Amino acid sequence: MLSYGQKRAFETDGYLVLPDVVPQSVRDAVAAEYAQLLDHLCADWQARNLLPAGVSSQDFWGKLLTAYRAGCDWFQPMDISLPGGDIRADTPMHFGPAVFDLVTCSAILDVVEALIGPEITSNPIQHIRIKPPRPALNTEEIRAHVTQTDWHQDRGVGLEEADATDMITVWIAMTDATVENGCLQVIPGADREMLPHCPKTQTAIADGFIDETQAVPLPVPAGGVVLLHPLLPHASLPNGTHAFRWSFDLRYNVTGQPTGRAHFPEFIARSADDPGQVLTDWRLWRQMWEDARDTLARNPHIPIHRWQGDAPFCA
């Protein structure tokens, strides 16, 4: 749980850095699950002559880098969400037991409960972020989950229906996040109001609405987390090292309140009022996302962002 001082710091600054939250055993299981997934992806790409035969002898990071340089997209097959663009019946995604254990990790839910109470829903706006070294990035790379992230508010990348939702972002460091390899940066204590966003390289706060000179970097060791208020302006620094930086971006909200992405599935992760409603089977979680994919693939696209490029503040 959180101390009174930590809660006050979060209320004042809009963020809280907590080292050593996610147990090593949980992180090891996630790493093993993703290593197995990457092996399957590489085997398929090799069968299609997209990767050299020698890739199988490389470690996890070597395989990722080789695949990225070859144009083999591992991001969406590894992501714990569907894309914001067009969705097909075969759009890849990953929902496995180890990631489910991470999303429902009691240590994470304890700190979330300290801020929003015991009725906790796992919000479907969630992503894996495995960021290659900046020197290795394709010049055309614009995906926020792969390259550095522009300044934004998490409330701003959901739909208006969730503007009053009590929500917490939990940013989980799977590897050490440093200034050098692209940790988060925030503008603490900013006024808690929705700022206008524009569809730039990514959905980002419109020019002139924040003072980037006030940015504070938030390094955090592997296993630590950064808690973010949904109206806190934040971004990530570029990864200037020669190694990958790996994190997960999870959100939780008070059960019964809108998630901001209603066409993606949510589930109850903790409940004091009705423990029987808590989802405990990762297979049901996966099935919920597969059902959503099937439905969305057969119907017109649903935009996930509210901002339009022709707005006055985007000109």
Domain spans of the chain, in order of start? 4-314
Categorize the per-residue pLDDT at 313 as very low, low, confident or very high, splitting at 50, 70 and 90: confident
Put the strands of the sheet holding 120-131 in their side by side order. Answer: 15-18, 225-228, 167-173, 245-254, 120-131, 267-270
Whole-number Å distance between alpha carbons of 247 and 127: 9
pLDDT tens sequence across 248-276? 999 999 999 999 999 999 999 999 999 99
Residue pair 169/233 in contact by the 8 Å Cβ criterion:
no
Using DSSP's 3-state secondary structure scheme, residue 90 falls into coil
Q: Which 8-state DSSP code applies to residue 196? A: P
Whole-number Å distance between alpha carbons of 14 and 148: 21
Q: Compute the mean pLDDT over every residue in the chain, rounded to the nearest whole number.
A: 93
Per-residue model confidence (pLDDT) at position 243: 92
Categorize the per-residue pLDDT at 79 as very low, low, confident or very high, splitting at 50, 70 and 90: very high
Whole-number Å distance between alpha carbons of 289 and 148: 27
Whole-number Å distance between alpha carbons of 147 and 16: 24
Q: What percent of the chain has pLDDT over 90?
A: 78
Whole-number Å distance between alpha carbons of 82 and 93: 7
Q: What is the mean pLDDT of residues 39-66?
A: 94
- Bigger pLDDT: 201 vs 186: 186
Whole-number Å distance between alpha carbons of 292 and 5: 41
Name the amino acid, one letter, at 247: S
Q: Which 8-state DSSP code applies to residue 126? A: E
User: Over 70: is that where the pLDDT of 182 sits?
Assistant: yes
The residues with which 199 forms a beta bridge, in sequence order, are 203
User: Over 90: is that where the pLDDT of 236 sits?
Assistant: yes
Q: What is the mean pLDDT of residues 67-85?
A: 93
User: Over 70: is that where the pLDDT of 201 sits?
Assistant: yes
Fold of 4-314: Jelly Rolls (2.60.120)
Per-residue model confidence (pLDDT) at position 272: 98
Categorize the per-residue pLDDT at 190 as very low, low, confident or very high, splitting at 50, 70 and 90: low
Residue pair 156/228 in contact by the 8 Å Cβ criterion:
no
pLDDT tens sequence across 108-167? 999 999 999 999 999 999 999 999 887 777 777 667 777 778 999 999 889 999 999 999
Alpha helix positions (H), 206-251: none
pLDDT tens sequence across 43-55? 999 999 999 888 9
Q: What is the mean pLDDT of residues 15-37?
A: 98
Cα angle at 218 between 215 and 220, to 5 degrees? 170
| Of 6-10, 49-53, 199-203, 218-222, minimum mean pLDDT range | 199-203
Cα dihedral across residues 279, 283, 289, 293: positive or negative = negative
Q: What are phi and psi of 260, to 5 degrees?
A: 90, 0
Residue 202 CB neighbours (<10 A) = 20
Q: Which 8-state DSSP code applies to residue 177? A: B
| Of 36-40, 185-189, 272-276, 278-282, minimum mean pLDDT range | 185-189
Q: 104: burial class by Cβ within 10 Å (0-12, 13-18, 19+)?
A: buried
